[in-house]
C-alpha cells in the first residue's frame, strides 16, 4: 500500500487518479520550496526505509524532509515524466530538464540521476532563466578593487582569469563583468558548457555533448568579429592556446581556471604547455576567489572572542566577534546569503619579469609586495567587520591551507 499526503492508503501497483494528484503536488512542492528557499540544488535520495530531500543553500546541504520509502517509485516516475526521461531506465545515469514557473519567474531545473544500491538518486540544479545579473560593485569587492576592475575592463585586449575551486562563484563574477561590458558598441560572445544564464545583447554559444569543443568553437568565434570573448573554462591546451591567441590579437578574453590561488594560475597554464613569453604578453589580471556565508542579520549577536579565536585570527585589535543564533529567516543555520573572499593579482612588469622562476610562492610574495591583499587577510577582515564568523573563516582557510600544503591542482 502507498500512503497519500493525508495518510490515506492506496494499492501500490495501481495508483488511481486520487493518488496521482497528491504525488504531483508533492513533487511540485519539493521543487517550489527549494526555489523559494534559494537553493542551488535539490537532492532526492533513496535509502533502505526512507527518502530524504536535501537543499543546498549558501553552499551547504541540509535535510528538509524525510518521506516514506513507499513513495519512491511514484516520485521518481513523476520527475522523469516531467523531464522527458526514460522511466524504464533505472540502471544507467540520465539527464533531463524541467521548466517551472514560480512567482512570475521561469526556472530551468536540470535533472541528473545516478543509480545506487537503494534506487536512483536525483540531483536537480536550479537556474533562474533571465535572472538579473549582479553588478560588479555588488559582489563584495572593495571600492579600490572595484575601480581597478572597471579600468582593466576598458582594455581592448588581454586575458583576465577568475580562478578557484568548483562552487566558488567564478561564473557569477564572469557574468557580472560581461554585464559591465554589455553595450551596443561591443560584439560580445560567450562559449559555455552549458549556458547558465541567458543575457540580452550577448551572443551565447552552448557546447553540447557532440564533437564540439571549446577549442574548435573558439576558432569559429574568432571569425565573428568579436570585441569581447568569455570562455566558460580553460580545460585543456587547445582551449588555452586559442583563448590566449585571441587575447593577443585585439580581443578582451575572460575565462576561468581551477587553481588554489592567484599565483598558481600561471603555473597551471605553463603545465598545459603554454609558452611563458606568451603568457607574459597576454595575462593582465588574475582573481582568485571563494565564497563564504554571511551571518544572518536577523539573529546576529555579538560575543567575546576566546583566546583561541584571537590566536586563529592573529590579531589583538578586536575583542568581539559575531555569530548567528538561528531563526526562521535563515532556516536555523545562523547564516543567510554569501559574499566573495578574494585576492587580485595585477600582472605588472616586476611580476612578469619573475615568471621564469616557475615558483608560484615567489610570484605570490612579489604580488603582496606590490600591494595585493591575500585571500586570508580579506577573510579576516570579513570576520572583524562582522560579516562572517570565525567558524566560517577557519573552515574556509583550513581547506585552503591543506590544499596549498598538498600542492592540490584542480586542473584536469
Q: Is 331 inside any structural domain?
A: yes
pLDDT at 343: 96
Domain match, 319 and 293 both:
yes
DSSP 278-345: HHHHHEEEEEEEEEEEEEPSSSEEEEEPPHHHHHHHT-SS--EEEEE---GGGTTSSEEEEEEEEEEE
The answer to whether residue 263 sits within a structural domain is yes
> Over the stretch 336-363, which tens digit does the pLDDT of each residue have?
999 999 999 999 999 999 988 878 889 9
pLDDT value, residue 312: 84
Cell 501500490 appears where? 12
SS3 156: coil
Please report the pLDDT score of residue 5 as a whole number: 39
Q: Does residue 38 lie within any of the structural domains? A: yes
Q: Which of 73, 74, 67 is nearest to 24 (CA)?
A: 74
Same domain, 119 and 152: no
Contact yes or no for 315/268 (Cβ under 8 A): no
pLDDT band at 166 (very low <50, low <70, confident <90, very high): confident
Same domain, 20 and 83: yes
CA–CA separation, 67 and 119 (whole Å): 14
Same domain, 110 and 223: no
Q: Which residues pair with 168 in a beta bridge?
A: none
Residues 118 and 145 in one domain: no
Task: Work out the burial of residue 143: count CB atoms within 10 Å of its CB; fewer than 13 is exposed, 13-18 middle, 19 or more buried.
Answer: exposed
The enclosing domain of 107 has a CATH number of: 3.30.450.90
Q: Per residue in 243-260, pLDDT tens?
A: 999 999 999 999 999 988
Per-residue confidence (pLDDT) for residue 406, from 0 to 100: 56
Specify whether the CB–CB gap between 57 and 80 falls below 8 A: no
Instruction: Answer yes or no: is 233 within a domain.
Output: yes
Q: What is the mean pLDDT of residues 302-326?
A: 89
| Residue 400 host element (H or E) | helix 390-406
Residue from 179, 62, 79, 175 nearest 119 by CA: 79
Residues 40 and 150 reside in one and the same domain: no
Predicted confidence at residue 17, as pLDDT, reads 46
CB contact at 8 A, 177 and 136: yes
- pLDDT, mean of residues 10-24: 58
**What's the mean pLDDT in 267-273?**
93
∠ at Cα 277 (272, 283), nearest 5°?
A: 75
**Confidence at 134, pLDDT banded by 50, 70, 90:** confident
**Residue 401: its pLDDT value, please?**
66
102 with 237, same domain: the answer is no
Mean predicted confidence (pLDDT) in 389-405: 77
- In this model, does residue 3 exceed pLDDT 60? no
Q: Which of 68, 103, 128 is the last residue of a domain?
A: 128
| Eight-class DSSP state of 57 | E
Residues 122 and 189 in one domain: no
Based on the fold, state whether residues 164 and 279 are members of the same structural domain.
Answer: yes
Average pLDDT score over residue span 150-177: 94
Helices (H), 345-389: 349-353, 360-369, 375-384
Report yes or no on 411 lying in a domain: no
- Which residues span the domain enclosing 19? 2-128
The 10s digit of each residue's pLDDT in 71-96 is 999 999 999 999 999 999 999 999 99
- Cα separation, 346 vs 350, in Å, equals 10
pTM of structure: 0.84
Q: Are residues 11 and 120 in the same domain?
A: yes
Last residue of a domain, one of 108, 128, 148: 128
In a domain? residue 412 = no
Q: Do 154 and 79 have their domain in common?
A: no
Query: Which residues, at least 6 apart from 297, have a Cβ–Cβ distance to it below 8 Å?
Result: 336
d(CA 288, CA 256): 10
Predicted confidence (pLDDT) per residue in 191-224, tens digit = 998 888 888 999 999 987 666 788 889 999 999 9
- Report the number of distinct structural domains present in the chain: 2
Q: Is the pLDDT confidence value at 15 over 50?
A: no
Q: What pLDDT sits at residue 209?
A: 63
The mean pLDDT of 18-33, rounded to a whole number, is 86
Whether residue 191 is contained in a domain is answered as yes
Task: State yes or no: pLDDT of 313 exceeds 90.
Answer: no
Q: Is pLDDT at 315 greater than 80 in this prediction?
A: no
Whether the bond between 195 and the residue before it is cis, its omega within 30 degrees of 0, is no
Whether residues 183 and 88 fall in one domain = no
Any domain includes 376: yes
pLDDT at residue 299 is higher than 80 = yes
Question: Do residues 112 and 122 lie in contact, with contact meaning Cβ atoms separated by under 8 Å?
Answer: yes
Among 99, 128, 157, the domain boundary falls at 128
- In the sheet where 203-206 sits, what is the strand order? 203-206, 188-192, 228-231, 252-257, 158-163, 283-295, 335-346
Can you give the pLDDT at residue 403? 63
**365 grid coordinates:** 610574495
Say whether pLDDT at 16 is over 50: no
Using DSSP, state whether 243 is helix, strand or coil.
helix
Statement: residue 409 has pLDDT above 60: no
Percent of the chain clearing pLDDT 90 (strictly above): 74
CATH number reported for the structural domain that contains residue 376 in this entry: 3.40.50.300
Nearest to 338 by CA among 296, 386, 385: 296
**Proportion of the chain above pLDDT 70, given as a percent:** 91
Name the average pLDDT for the chain.
89
Amino acid at each position: 500500500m502507498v500512503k497519500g499526503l493525508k495518510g490515506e492508503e492506496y494499492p501500490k501497483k495501481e495508483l488511481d487518479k486520487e493518488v496521482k494528484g497528491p504525488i504531483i503536488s508533492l513533487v511540485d512542492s519539493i521543487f517550489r520550496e527549494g526555489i523559494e528557499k534559494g537553493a542551488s540544488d535539490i537532492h532526492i535520495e533513496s535509502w533502505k526505509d526512507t527518502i530524504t530531500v536535501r537543499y543546498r543553500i549558501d553552499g551547504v546541504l541540509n535535510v528538509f524532509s524525510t518521506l516514506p520509502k513507499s513513495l519512491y517509485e511514484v516520485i521518481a516516475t513523476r520527475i522523469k515524466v516531467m523531464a522527458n526521461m526514460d522511466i524504464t531506465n533505472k540502471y544507467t545515469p540520465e539527464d533531463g530538464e524541467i521548466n517551472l514557473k514560480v512567482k512570475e519567474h521561469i526556472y530551468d531545473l536540470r535533472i541528473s540521476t545516478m543509480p545506487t544500491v537503494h534506487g536512483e538518486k536525483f540531483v536537480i540544479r536550479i537556474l533562474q532563466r533571465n535572472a538579473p545579473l549582479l553588478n560588479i560593485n555588488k559582489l563584495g569587492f572593495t571600492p579600490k578593487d572595484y575601480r581597478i576592475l572597471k579600468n582593466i575592463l576598458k582594455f581592448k585586449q588581454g586575458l583576465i582569469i577568475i580562478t578557484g575551486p568548483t562552487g566558488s562563484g567564478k561564473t557569477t563574477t564572469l557574468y557580472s563583468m560581461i554585464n559591465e561590458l554589455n553595450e551596443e558598441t561591443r560584439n560580445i560572445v560567450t562559449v559555455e558548457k552549458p549556458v547558465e544564464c541567458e543575457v540580452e545583447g550577448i551572443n551565447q554559444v552552448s557546447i553540447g555533448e557532440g564533437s564540439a569543443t571549446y577549442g574548435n568553437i573558439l576558432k569559429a568565434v574568432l571569425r565573428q568579429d568579436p570585441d569581447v570573448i568569455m570562455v566558460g573554462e580553460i580545460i585543456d591546451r587547445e582551449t588555452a592556446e586559442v583563448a590566449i591567441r585571441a587575447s593577443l590579437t585585439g580581443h578582451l578574453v575572460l575565462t576561468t581556471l581551477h587553481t588554489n590561488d592567484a599565483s598558481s594560475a600561471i603555473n597551471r597554464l605553463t603545465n598545459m604547455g603554454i609558452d611563458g613569453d606568451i603568457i607574459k604578453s597576454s595575462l593582465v589580471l588574475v582573481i582568485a576567489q571563494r565564497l563564504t556565508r554571511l551571518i544572518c542579520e536577523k539573529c546576529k549577536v555579538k560575543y567575546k572572542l576566546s583566546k583561541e579565536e584571537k590566536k586563529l585570527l592573529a590579531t589583538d585589535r578586536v575583542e568581539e566577534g559575531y555569530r548567528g543564533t538561528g531563526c526562521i529567516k535563515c532556516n536555523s543555520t545562523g547564516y543567510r546569503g554569501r559574499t566573495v573572499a578574494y585576492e587580485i593579482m595585477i600582472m605588472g612588469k616586476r611580476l612578469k619579469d619573475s615568471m621564469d622562476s616557475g615558483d608560484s610562492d615567489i610570484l605570490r610574495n612579489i604580488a603582496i609586495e606590490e600591494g595585493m591583499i591575500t585571500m586570508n587577510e580579506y577573510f579576516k577582515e570579513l570576520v572583524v567587520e562582522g560579516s562572517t564568523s570565525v567558524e566560517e573563516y577557519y573552515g574556509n582557510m583550513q581547506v585552503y591551507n591543506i590544499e596549498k600544503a598538498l600542492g592540490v591542482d584542480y586542473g584536469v
